Structure 1
Amino acid sequence: MTNLKTVILALSIYFTCFAASGQDSLINRVINDLNEPVLSGEVLNYFFQASGSQYFIDGWTKGDIYLESGDVTRDRLLQYNGYRDQLYWLNPSSGDIVILDKHLVSGFTLAMPLSADTATFRKVSADLNGIRDPDGVFVQVLVDDAYSLLVLRRIVNTGERNIMQGERMVTLPVLEPRPVYIIRSPGNNYQSLQRLRRRNFINLFPGQQDDLRRELIRERNRVRSENQLVEAVKTLNTL
């Protein structure tokens, strides 16, 4: 009842402003805000200093958030923290950085800077190379087909580094990307690929090894990079 009174009061105030100013756009903004799904999470009140970035993309980028309820909220300023596997939202009304509740989020997109590409992430609950979370983990979808290619954009602590800050020496953890590539086969079976090699990739599919090897050799695809892995999975889907 309290929420309903709040909504009615907000509408009354804005409609009064509208009557005084005659600005249709003001009413449209109010209605759009009221229709937006509610996002919940914890305000980020600590900052982790390190050598190297925690983030998939440095800086805020626009994206859409897909909720477990089926609702979608669009054009939010987002950051994905690969070190903590957390999605951050910049609340425009307060300026707070919010760690979104993972159990409420089913996926999200991020606009890639300096290109027209969009990175799509989904939450999966599989045990990925020993990485578990009761609320699932976020993975980027590189190929979405019968055989899908997913990547856990993991960032790990690889050691320490001493650096000068002003007049004192400080020791910082060194963060580096360590992506984990996952193949999702028909029947929702997940297999991880530790090292990018053609042989390692072919060995994941014992029933199709001969055909897959022949096609990859014909395409001169050695599966040594992420782009080559994407093409290899696309080839697998044609067999």
Structure 2
Amino acid sequence: MNYLFICFLVALSEVARAQAVTDPTVDLRLNNLNNPSTGPLIFKVDARYEGQHGSPYFLPGWSNGQVSLRDGRQYKDVPLKFDAYRQALLLLRPKSGNDSIIIDRQTVNRFLLTTPNGQPYLFSRYPSAKVTDDDVKDGYFLILYEGKTALLKRIAKTFKPADYKGGYSADIRYDSYGDAFSYYLLKPDQTLTKIKLSKKAFLDAMSDKESGLKAFIDQQKLSFKSEEDAITLVKQYDSL
């Protein structure tokens, strides 16, 4: 009886051993672990990557906004986000599962973003502006001042990918977005001129009233270290 039982156990172990050897799943797993050329199941993760620094968006979250389209339609109290890197205006649709859409830039006239603390930012497009750079002409501008003349700020972003692989890398382990601001003066004749925040640049751009503006700059002690000084001067230019 004991002899028969021992024979049974031996036969059972042989069957199990045969199944283990011929089981393709087991073979594949063992081969993959022992021979990387067959495509290992264990992958090495490069932990040096540090993610993304900065953001492509002008403001970090969704803002309560208004949109004015070129055909006259207007939308108020809608959630908006401005992608400054792609120059794209996004609209959130809460009733459609919180998906978002990009509003066709060619249809937009102006849009307004309002921060939670009540700070408004009014953007506009100027497709009829006289400027040689088509990308600038087709983009959005933040309005700093608007009268007969307008002082505009182009809000853009740059993107720099991570660079840490290879022998000649810069060892930068993160993707990054950076600010790329520039200023423009829009004259009544629709001439759009890029301008620096400096006394000389503004006097050159408004040379038709240079003498009166020079005295005003000295009187007001404008240093052009802030946008407020530039706004003050353009307002004076319009008043002359």
TM norm structure 1:
0.69
Q: How far apart are 1:172 and its partner, in Å?
A: 3.4
> CA contact under 8 A between 1:198 and 1:224: conserved in structure 2?
no
Match status 1:197 vs 2:192? no
User: In the alignment, which residue of structure 2 is the partner of 1:110?
Assistant: 113
What is the number of equivalent residue pairs in this alignment?
A: 182
2:231 aligned counterpart, secondary structure:
helix
Cα RMSD, aligned residues only: 2.3
Letter in 2 for 1:83: Y
Find out whether 1:206 has 2:212 as its counterpart. no
Do residues 55 (structure 1) and 57 (structure 2) align? yes
Give 1:9-48 correspondences, 5 Å limit: none
After superposition, the C-alpha distances for 1:61-105 in whole angstroms (9 at most, x for unaligned) are 100111121010110000011111000111111210211111221
| SS of alignment partner, residue 101 of structure 2 | strand
Following TM superposition, where does structure 1 have runs of at least 4 consecutive aligned residues deviating by more than 6 angstroms?
none
**Alpha carbons 1:139, 1:153 under 8 Å: kept:** yes
Matches within 5 A, 1:125-136: 125=127, 126=129, 130-132=133-135, 136=138
Contact 1:128 1:192 in 2 (8 A): no
Gap runs ≥5 in structure 2? 1-50, 165-170
For 1:91, the aligned partner's letter is: R
Other-structure match for 2:103: 100
Q: Does the 8 Å contact 2:130/2:190 carry over to 1?
A: no
1:221 — aligned with what?
Answer: 222
Residue 192 of structure 1 and its aligned partner are, at CA, apart by 0.9
> Could you tell me how far 1:129 is from its partner in structure 2?
6.9
Give 1:130 shift.
2.6
**CA shift for structure 1 position 207:** 1.5
Say whether residues 1:234 and 2:235 are aligned partners: yes
Larger Rg: 2
Deviation, structure 1 residue 117: 3.0
Structure 1, unaligned runs of 5 or more: 1-48, 164-168
1:153 aligned residue (155, 166, 186): 155
- Between the two proteins, what is the percent identity of the paired residues? 21
Q: 2:78 aligns with which of 61, 76, 79?
A: 76
In terms of fraction of residues, the more strand-rich structure is: 1
1:135-187 CA deviation, whole Å, 9 max, x = no partner?
Answer: x2111111110111111111123x45569xxxxx9843322112121111121
Shift of 1:112: 2.7
Q: TM-score, normalising length from structure 2?
A: 0.69
Matches of 2:172 and 2:67, distance apart in 1: 38
| 1:230 Cα offset (Å) | 1.6
Letter in 2 for 1:68: R
Structure 2 contact 130–191 (Cα < 8 Å) conserved: no
1:181-224 per-position Cα deviation (integer Å, ceiling 9, x unaligned) = 1111121111111x311111111122211111110111011112
| Structure with the bigger percentage of helix | 2
